[in-house]
Structure 1
Amino acid sequence: MTEPIIHACFEPQTSTWQYIVADPATKAAVIIDPVLDFDPATSTISTETADGLLALVSEQGYTVERLLETHVHADHLTAAKYLQSRLSADDGARKPQICIGKRIGKVQERFARRYGIAKDEYESAFDTLLDDDEIWHLGQLEAKAMHLPGHTPDHMGYLIGKNIFCGDTIFNPDVGSARCDFPGGSTADLYATATRLFSLPETYTIYTGHDYPPSGVRDAPQARSTVADQTRHNKHLKTGTSEAEFVRWRTERDSTLAEPRLLHQSLQVNIRGGSLPAPTDGAGDRLLHVPLKVVGGRAW
């Protein structure tokens, strides 16, 4: 079986792994979970990270056919729409499709209500909604979409060759598992998802969506581990961990976690597939909503 070329690109501000995956024979490629830079101190968006992906695509001579999102991220803004505009702007190139799992509609509706986003701003944000276990071809390679719920209900992973890109499902063995306390998340579902991933052949490679290297254990982020590594060493989910034990621990742990730093900005941009709100005036400012909580009495 021919294996893909995989470029793992780490974005340190959000500890996110982005991937460019290509067929070596045809140079057809996909980009998985690209990051749009956001500075919360100045509310400024920039494209340095995404431009780095574009430079690598150009350098390698790839044709990007799809931009794959694993889910609506709560910790970084997606660069999918920006990349699509750039990749289809030159020489009349065919527009790469922005893809996500078919359950995205319920997620969009939930967060559109929370942030006051009109339906016409998000209903056509994604070009392709992928079915569970849907198969397509990346050049001469076979790719498969896998529903991997738990972290979020809509979460998808992508199996290409002997490699599964699992997003925010499980992390490297010394980090463990993802939180499940977002709306629709489920510790029981995450346990079932991990069991499914761990049933793949031991030599298959699992590429994670983030890495947070444990202090004093290792310094450099790593993108991958094998199924064998995970089943033997995952600190939360290795072989022998019962569902009841995991559900109890994960639920208790999640109750202590703060919300992600870029939660509100990420969700509002990501349900739009990376499109930004329209400018509000001639200055070009675009507005995102930030919820306020009032403590200690009535609002005034």
Structure 2
Amino acid sequence: MTTTPAKVQVHPFHHADTGTWSYVVADSSSRQAAIIDPVLDFDAKTGRITHVSAQALLDCAIEHGLRVRWLLETHAHADHLTAAQWLAAQLPDAMVAIGQGIREVQRTFAPVFELNPEAAAAAFDCLFTDDDEFSLGAIRASAIPVPGHTRDSLAYLIGDALFTGDSLFMPDAGTARCDFPGGDAAMLYRSIQRLYQLPDATRVFVCHDYGPGGRAVACETTIGAQKRGNIHVREGVSEAEFVALRETRDATLATPALIIPSLQVNLRAGALPSASGNGIRYLRIPLDQF
């Protein structure tokens, strides 16, 4: 007999400047919770950092009486800075987690940013291996590797809800680019086919939405809706067709505006650079590398 997955509470938060969705996910009985893909507010023009978006996540947890146990990253994002470390400082019981593929991503960018990969990996409290299980109270959860967009990409299945990171967008928006170092369109296709094995009723929550066609931004769909209507990888689309479509589209895409500051921070789990002798922290811009 198949057991119906437990329904979790999902509180979505949209970061308009980067098109990112962050989530507070909770077990209503135990009130244990996770925060997924929190955003640090960063003004690239002035270099100023604020915590308005992260504070909203924290306020949600406080308002609902939640105990945050996990700060979950779906991958090392290239389009926004993570607020994981700032939240960890406010939430001493929470662990910052990402997939073990982060080690490969850190090694890739280590020469560019003069990064110590071992020290960077140690900034995370937990590196999930393939299909590692964890829990929110009585609700079972698992970390599903979905490489393709990046090598470290994970989806999180928490009860009846799947958080896809950048592997799947809303059906009318398709899928994420695969042209970053370590990206692979064929690998992403196979990762998505694995997600499509989940029950059609599984709720799907995406990491980004930009309101294609002028529609209102959205964050929730289902596996069934993705299989029937995803414009890039619905039922009947072959791997070769998807790879051709994805690679053609990727060739037209600009480099993300925040990739340089984002990677410097996100590869270290959100840790900001140490202050220089004058007390000022600096991000670095490597020339002719991107």
User: TM tier, shorter chain?
Assistant: over 0.9
Displacement of 1:214 in angstroms is 1.1
Instruction: Provide the identity percentage.
Output: 46
Contact 2:169–2:209 under 8 Å retained in 1: yes
2:142 equivalent in structure 1: 144
Any gaps of 5 or more consecutive residues in structure 1? 89-94, 295-300
Instruction: For residue 96 of structure 2, give the secondary structure of its aligned residue in structure 1.
Output: strand
- What is the distance in 2 between the residues matched to 1:152 and 1:97? 22
Instruction: Give the counterpart letter for 1:103 in structure 2.
Output: G
Instruction: Give the counterpart letter for 1:25 in structure 2.
Output: S
2:282 equivalent in structure 1: 287
Displacement of 1:281 in angstroms is 2.7
Deviations 1:252-296 (A, max 9, x none): 1111111001000000000110011101133x32111212239xx
1:270 equivalent in structure 2: 266
- What is the distance in 1 between the residues matched to 2:161 and 2:266? 25
What are the residue-to-residue correspondences of 1:181-200 with 2, within 5 Å? 181-200=179-198
2:82 equivalent in structure 1: 78
Q: TM-score, normalised by structure 1?
A: 0.92
Contact 1:112–1:268 under 8 Å retained in 2: no
Instruction: For residue 55 of structure 1, give the secondary structure of its aligned residue in structure 2.
Output: helix
1:125 equivalent in structure 2: 123
Q: 1:2 to 1:123 in 2, by over 3 A?
A: closer
1:43 equivalent in structure 2: 47
- What is the distance in 2 between the residues matched to 1:177 and 1:189? 13
- What is the distance in 2 between the residues matched to 1:234 and 1:106? 30
Displacement of 1:113 in angstroms is 1.5
Any gaps of 5 or more consecutive residues in structure 2? none
CA RMSD of aligned residues (A): 1.3
- What is the distance in 2 between the residues matched to 1:46 and 1:112? 27
Instruction: For residue 213 of structure 2, give the secondary structure of its aligned residue in structure 1.
Output: coil
User: Structure 1 stretches (4+) deviating beyond 3 angstroms?
Assistant: 118-121
Instruction: For residue 50 of structure 1, give the secondary structure of its aligned residue in structure 2.
Output: helix
1:233 equivalent in structure 2: 229
Displacement of 1:247 in angstroms is 0.4
Contact 1:111–1:268 under 8 Å retained in 2: no
1:202 equivalent in structure 2: 200
Instruction: Give the counterpart letter for 2:273 in structure 1.
Output: P
